[in-house]
Structure 1
Amino acid sequence: MQSLPCKEGFLHRLFGISESFPEHIAIKDLDVDAGIFTYRELQVKAEKCNGALQELNVVPGEKVALVLPSGVEFIAYFLAIIGRGAIPVLLNYKLMPFEMASVVGSARPVLVVTTATLFEKHRETFQLTYGVRHSLLVDTVGDSSSLPENATSEAGLAQRSEPLVLPEGNPIVSIQFTYRGMGKPLAVPHRYLDMTHAIDGMHEQIHRQGVGSVHLVTLPLHAIFGLTAMMVFPLSVGATLLMTNTLLNRDLAEVLSQHEVSFTCLVPDVIRYFNTRLAKRKGARLPMHPKLMIYSGGSHLPADEAEKLGRLLGCKPVVQGYGLTETMPVLLQSTLGVTQRGAMGQPIRGVELRVVDAQGQDVAPGRIGELLVRGAMVIDGYADAEEANKRFFRDGWLHTGDLVWRDDDGHVFFYRQRLRISKIKAQMVDLMEIEAVAMQHPDVLRAKAYIVPDHKEINALHLCVEGHAALTQSVLATLLSQHLSGFKLPKTIEVSVLKEPSHAS
């Protein structure tokens, strides 16, 4: 591991903000009537969450899974788990039971913090068989006697507060999951000072943010891009998190203007959606914060879409970036300085990169090769995944699997992904996982998933299967929908029926 320039991490900084600006608004949730929390109130809530963890006998070093939608409960428990010396495992609350069992079985957290509805959905997984000693339900009220022995209502606890302890050194402060074309999820551990270094590198390339800045939270906090860019970063500089889970039903221009938003991140599919809506918007253009910066990540954004959103809102074009779950997440960034149209950007501070051919030799500018990266914000390896580590972490470099090229000034341009993974709706899809689920049907003999970009450069997933005569598209679609999240479901399913061998009379 490389030496780290950060000597204090983001929780240290948040505590400093809470002490210096206790009444400054940390969170404003547009979906909740009483959704405003000052920095002091957020710290107090996190301390109460820590008290709940203590009552359930969570000790330092143990894993605690958060299966919650983005909101103050997610944020407060994330801070509490770190402040207890435990390890947050951040899981997508929209996963299907089949998918949830895979990640929980891999992480084996002792406690799951979730809602009553999600507990019922995943009751079979949130059990000791998968390492889960107990589940804490944050939204149940009144009598909790009907709950099973391995579940507790937050309201039924003593509601004691327990101070948070600042981390020492560089411990693991989150575990998230990604896919690398191996048909199974890989656990990605992130460390405290590494994550702080990553957000510092991103901050150096944008307008300075701090107390008085307003950040519109548009990404799920369980994913690394949302966690770092939308939560850890703003809370470490004293900004206000403007939260909503209903942004697609709102007027983006009105939200940005009314709340004087200075920074937000939008994934490409959402940018396309709002480009279409804003083009039809009536009335005068609304005034924006003079230094409003809109950031894009999660998957490749065509340059014309980035420029279009800037024109429609009356602000600068969308800033692009590049990163992976393994890099927390930003490695490359378009900056406020010289940029190149369509480029993902240049390396942020502390990032080294190479572009190499199939033999591992560096290629010249303008030539396509695989992107290799290293730096303090790049993880050392996946947890408990020796085969994957040998494949992707070699000689101190992370082999990204992304094919890129560089111009003479070092701007990096995306070409395509060479691994059997892809981004659908800005979320990772492992083609081997799709095929493995299809193969569970007894009439399927072979399955092949593949990606074809449509006319708008949006990735579309397709599935071809070969099988016996009883096999139908409807049967396969039902099987897949029972096991996989919506973004993993193929746009088309092609069924080829193999001829049965004839038997002579």
Structure 2
Amino acid sequence: MNLSSKFSLTAKTFQNKPAFIFEGQETSYAQLEGAINQFASGLKELGVKKGDHVGVLLGNTPYFVISLYGVLRAGATVIPINPIYTPDEIGYILNNGDVKTVITLDLLVPLFEKMNAHLPKVESVIVCDTPPTEAKQNVDVTTLSVYSKLKPFTTVLSLGSAIFEGPELADDDTAVILYTSGTTGKPKGAMLTHKNLYSNAIDTGEYLKMNDTDKVVATLPMFHVFCLTVSLNAPLMSGATLLIVPRFTPGEIFKLVKDNEATVFAGVPTMYNFLLQFEGANPDELKSLRLCISGGASMPVALLKGFEQKFKVVISEGYGLSEASPVTCFNPLDRPRKAGSIGTNIVNVENKVVNELGEEVPPNQVGELIVKGPNVMKGYYKMPEETAHTIRDGWLYTGDLARVDEEGYIFIVDRKKDLIIVGGYNVYPREVEEVLYNHEDVVEVAVVGVPDLNFGEGVKCFVVSKKADLTEETLLEYCKEHLAKYKVPSSIEFLNELPKNTTGKILRRALKGQVLQK
């Protein structure tokens, strides 16, 4: 069984039930099943074969859902990409990921025009209409060099048939490649199999007791693994209804939950903070929620308790990572939730804390969190050495320090070394540093995470410059050209020299300590 075949079974059971609601319009399970078949068979007519890689650069729209399941049903591999990435970031993933076909919004066509000469492997760019609420440029596409590659989404649908079986899929076939920021500055592609994604969707749905009466708010980015499993796949496997939200705004969430009597909301701590701080928030507007889910970053206990007290709904905090599809544990729903804990093992997944020798440590002793289960990736794309380092004897080494109490509740003590989490998104300092090192006036740079009231953490840079007149504004504009918005530093401080150890290594922790002491 896999996501595609399971969805077909679910669609037969709940034919007339809404699979999702988008901008007030309902699409039934039967209608979605037909669209998935049409798109999958249309892709086949376009020349997409089993094993081909398809990049998906879309926000939260029905296009994403149809594209995801359509590509899987066609036997190809989905590579979700954040559409707000810069051309450099997108180009690296498309080339490294050997992407043959891209699905994107029409407003991004000018971006592909700029990159066209640097994307020799991309044969087709399937273009979706931008939602009416989004601003878009009026471009005469017939004048573009990329024009011959452009295929309207509706045209691909028209090529297909509402009845389509697709090729046979093996459990170990790669279904999705998720590019996650690497400590070397270049993203790594985590290869998730059909078994990985299906097992995690089913096990997560079972653990959270999702069913066909649920209405799940999908406001997390669908290209992010948290939303992909918790707010999209798990609900659709359960016969639930997705409430698709293009972008998160507190006022819209309150209205959506109230108007649709939503039952499940999943978000990162930043979202909960914005909801809690929203002026005029009426607790009654969230009374239909039976469950709130938090992940992506550790939730401050004060925020968790403040939200639960005000809105009278339990937040179940969990933990996951791209390499584990992503969920490994959640706070249980059938016994007390422990504030500050990421919970206990979900069904079929084992977490344990080990020392440097890989030996499990006693309760409450700190060590590295490792994970084992059918959800663990089969490796990093084209990176065998990284794979061997990360997966040992079937265990995925997360790099996070944790402890487990006597009742099996897991607590994250510290995150991966130097990792910065901005609003639930991972930012690795080396990636930002590499960009700044390319600036002609920068001698040295070090990046650290600093507390941020709105986003949990912010990115702070320390720079040694060749020129005394180099300004923070100049470097910030440079970063905006080469980094996604959430990776851009919140501040840049100039120093005469950076602290180093005896071997010349820059001491990031010393810099972070200086910031926290101020």
Normalising by structure 1, what TM-score?
Answer: 0.90
Cross-structure match for 1:188: 190
Q: 1:16 aligned to 9, 15, 33, which one?
A: 9
Q: 2:369 aligned to 357, 371, 374, which one?
A: 371
- What is the deviation of 1:366? 1.8
- What is the deviation of 1:453? 2.6
- What is the deviation of 1:19? 1.7
- What is the deviation of 1:249? 5.1
- What is the deviation of 1:486? 1.2
- What is the deviation of 1:62? 0.6
SS at match of 2:158: coil
Cross-structure match for 1:74: 64
SS at match of 1:173: strand
Q: 2:295 aligned to 297, 301, 307, which one?
A: 297
1:26 counterpart = 2:26: no
Cross-structure match for 2:501: none
Count of residues in Structure 1 that have an aligned counterpart in Structure 2: 483
Q: How far apart, CA to CA, are the structure 1 residues paired with 2:286 and 2:177?
A: 40
- What is the deviation of 1:323? 0.5
Cross-structure match for 1:311: 309
Q: How far apart, CA to CA, are the structure 1 residues paired with 2:207 and 2:358?
A: 30
Cross-structure match for 1:452: 450
Cross-structure match for 1:93: 83
The question of whether the paired residues in 2 share the 8 Å contact of 1:368 and 1:405 is answered with yes
Per-residue CA deviation, residues 129-151 of structure 1 (Å, 9 max, x unaligned), is 45211211122899964452222
Q: Which amino acid aligns with 1:221?
A: M
Identity of aligned residues (%): 23
Higher helix share: 2
Matches within 5 A, 1:256-405: 256-277=257-278, 280-281=280-281, 285-286=284-285, 288-289=287-288, 292-315=290-313, 317-336=314-333, 337-405=335-403
Matches within 5 A, 1:200-211: 200-206=202-208, 208-211=209-212
SS at match of 2:148: coil
Structure 1 residue runs of 5 or longer lacking an equivalent are 1-7, 499-505
- What is the deviation of 1:441? 0.9
Q: How far apart, CA to CA, are the structure 1 residues paired with 2:420 and 2:158?
A: 44
Q: Which amino acid aligns with 2:35?
A: K
- What is the deviation of 1:375? 1.3
Per-residue CA deviation, residues 382-415 of structure 1 (Å, 9 max, x unaligned), is 1111332233222322111111111111111111
Q: How far apart, CA to CA, are the structure 1 residues paired with 2:473 and 2:479?
A: 10
Q: Which region of structure 1 is more displaced relative to structure 2, 407-416 or 455-464? A: 455-464
- What is the deviation of 1:267? 0.8
Change (3 A) 1:472 1:332: same
- What is the deviation of 1:164? 4.1
Change (3 A) 1:455 1:231: closer
Deviating above 6 A after TM superposition, structure 1's stretches of 4 or more consecutive aligned residues are 140-144
Q: Which amino acid aligns with 1:491?
A: S
- What is the deviation of 1:180? 3.5
Q: How far apart, CA to CA, are the structure 1 residues paired with 2:293 and 2:228?
A: 14
Q: How far apart, CA to CA, are the structure 2 residues paired with 1:496 and 1:465?
A: 6
Cross-structure match for 1:415: 413
Per-residue CA deviation, residues 3-51 of structure 1 (Å, 9 max, x unaligned), is xxxxx22322211122222111111013xx5x32111111122222224
Q: How far apart, CA to CA, are the structure 1 residues paired with 2:238 and 2:451?
A: 39
Change (3 A) 1:157 1:262: closer
Structure 2 residue runs of 5 or longer lacking an equivalent are 131-137, 498-518
Q: Which amino acid aligns with 1:320?
A: E
The question of whether the paired residues in 2 share the 8 Å contact of 1:295 and 1:319 is answered with yes
Q: Which amino acid aligns with 1:332?
A: C
Change (3 A) 1:81 1:264: same
Cross-structure match for 1:58: 48
Cross-structure match for 2:175: 173
Normalising by structure 2, what TM-score?
Answer: 0.87
SS at match of 1:469: coil
Q: Which region of structure 1 is more displaced relative to structure 2, 45-54 or 257-266? A: 45-54
Change (3 A) 1:348 1:495: same
The question of whether the paired residues in 2 share the 8 Å contact of 1:343 and 1:411 is answered with yes
Q: How far apart, CA to CA, are the structure 2 residues paired with 1:116 and 1:18?
A: 30
CA RMSD of aligned residues (A): 2.4
